[in-house]
Amino acid sequence: MTQRKAVNARDYMVRSVVTLSPEMNLLEAVEVLLERRISGAPVVDSKGNLVGILSEQDCLRAALGATYYGDLGGLVSDHMQRDVETVTDETPIFDVARKFIQGHFRRYPVISGSRLVGQLSRRDVLRALRDLSHGSGHQV
């Protein structure tokens, strides 16, 4: 009997992730989200460390606040969520599937140490589960 390889987040994560800088102007960040047709993006510092996440909801909150204060602006760091749920590149794919079922997020940043190395969506996990069900030589 051959030993099958365990499937982890790194095996199915997207490695090329649109990121934002904490020093970026909020309006520039909104433009990136709109142009790339994405609902949010990880925020990384100059060393590639994950420091937050900016979502459409964060931008809407800022826009609503601007109607009261008259200024839609500031930096991404002023509006991003700093407490980010993540998975590591070594997290087993079934553990990621459980996180998706138990939570409300559609994607998780994947980190190695504190560095952002990718992103894993529900669809990526479904692809992994499909491949596993077809006997691709992987195991949990």
Model confidence pLDDT, tens digit, residues 5-37: 689 999 999 999 999 999 999 999 999 999 999
Give the range of the structural domain holding residue 38, as residue numbers without chain letter.
5-139
Binning the chain into helix, strand and coil, the percentages to the nearest 5 are 40, 25, 35
As for how many domains the chain has, the answer is 1
Helices (H), ranges, 70-121? 76-79, 93-102
Output 133 or 87, whichever has higher pLDDT: 87
> Which tens digit of pLDDT belongs to each residue from 75-109?
999 999 999 999 999 999 999 999 999 988 889 99
Whether the model pTM is above 0.75: yes
Output 66 or 55, whichever has higher pLDDT: 55
The overall average pLDDT reported for the chain is 88
Average pLDDT over every residue of 34-62 = 94
What CATH number is given to the structural domain containing 82? 3.10.580.10
> What's 14's DSSP letter?
B
Average pLDDT over every residue of 127-139 = 75
Other Cβ atoms within 10 Å of 7 Cβ, number? 22
Confidence tier at 120 by pLDDT (50, 70, 90): very high
